[in-house]
Amino acid sequence: MTPKEFRKIMLILAVAGIVILLTISIYLIIVSTRQSKQTCPVLSCPIPTKTYDVIAPVQRAPNQAPNRDRKVLDDPLYPPLNRTDEQTFNSVVREVNQGNLYRNPSDSADSFRLVGYLSSTDPVRDAGGSNWKLMARMKDRQQGEYYIIPANNNIDLKIPLTPDIVVSERLRDVYTLPKEMRFRSPMLNDGVYQYTEIPKTDFTSPRYV
């Protein structure tokens, strides 16, 4: 082999090597580009707009019954009210809160407060010690709602003053209560109870509004 032929063969081999290296480089670039489209860094990955494999947790309605029951027992400003079974009660409360049941356009949105005291002079003391706090609110523009609790805080008792219990003058609005009342209840005396109203707020004394 002459030197000229040797140089020619070496040139061909060099060119072939360069072509092979370029081909491999192009292949690697294409592969890396495809992989970068399929995976991405955590901070730069796009957030998927649709998720079909995630099931949202079931939203359960809050249980209103225990909180309401505690108020009946412990809150003197909450009336003595019974309820139905817990499941039905929670369902009805949810519908009422959503405005689907028992809409009362004449509701005054008033709340119970202490309006005065009832006392009995009968020698036999009743279940509450013959001295009671009268709690009342305006249910609507014409009619009030009432219940009594013992003035002695050591006695745990609430008695609703419903029409079947009040046998004297009917209790209407909280602003015209009679001075004497009589009741029909095994926990109250049959005699007269004197009503003593407490004074209303004096708005000229802001400290005691």
Which DSSP string do the residues of 108-168 spell out, in sequence order? -----EEEEEEEE--SS--TTTTEEEEEEEESSSS-EEEEEEESSTTS---EE--TTTB-S
Tell me the β-bridge partners of 119: 131, 194
Question: CA separation (Å) from 102 to 20, 91, 97, 107, 162?
Answer: 85, 13, 10, 11, 21
pTM: 0.68
List pLDDT tens digits, range 128-142. 999 999 999 999 988
Residue 137 · residue 174 · CB < 8 Å: yes
The answer, yes or no, to whether residue 162 has pLDDT greater than 90, is yes
User: Listing from the earlier edge strand, what are the strands of the sheet with 193-197?
Assistant: 159-160, 144-150, 131-138, 113-120, 193-197, 180-181
Question: CA separation (Å) from 152 to 14, 108, 127, 129?
Answer: 111, 30, 11, 7
List pLDDT tens digits, range 47-57. 555 544 455 55
Q: Which residue shows structure tokens 């003391």?
A: 125
- Sequence-distant (6+) residues with CB within 8 A of 82 are none
Query: What is the model's pLDDT at position 177?
Result: 96
Cβ neighbours around 89 below 10 Å, total: 16
List pLDDT tens digits, range 56-89. 554 566 788 999 999 999 999 999 999 999 999 9
Closest by CA to 165, choosing from 146, 184, 143, 180, is: 184
User: Using CA atoms in the order 150, 152, 154, 156, what is the torsion angle rounded to 10 degrees?
Assistant: 0
Query: What is the model's pLDDT at position 52?
Result: 44
List pLDDT tens digits, range 84-128. 999 999 999 999 888 888 888 888 889 999 999 999 999 999 999
